[in-house]
């Protein structure tokens, strides 16, 4: 993930979590991740693995669209 995409990911993660009115702890519970992991993603300290990313996407009820550059 490049810097621009990483910043966008972080902004979207926070935006969609807050849209559901969930705390980091609630998202952690829904994804079977720790609150510390969610915090680390949102603070840009760690990037989630692909399986973890899909857990987050599913919990937040989002869709993924792939496109060519």
Report the distance separating Cα 47 and Cα 69, nearest Å. 22
Size (the chain), residues: 69
Segment 15-60, tens digit of pLDDT: 999 999 999 999 999 999 999 999 999 999 999 999 999 999 999 9
Segment 7-16, tens digit of pLDDT: 888 999 999 9
pLDDT at 1 over 60: no
DSSP characters over 11-33:
HHHHHHHHHTT--HHHHHHHHT-
Report the distance separating Cα 16 and Cα 24, nearest Å. 11
Report the distance separating Cα 65 and Cα 18, nearest Å. 22
């Amino acid at each position: 993930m490049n810097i621009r995409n990483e910043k966008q990911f972080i902004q979207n993660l926070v935006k969609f979590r807050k849209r559901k009115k969930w705390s980091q702890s609630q998202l952690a519970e829904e994804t079977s991740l720790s609150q510390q992991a969610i915090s680390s993603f949102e603070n840009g300290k760690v990037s989630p693995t692909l399986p973890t990313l899909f857990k987050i996407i599913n919990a937040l009820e989002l869709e993924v669209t792939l496109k060519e550059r």
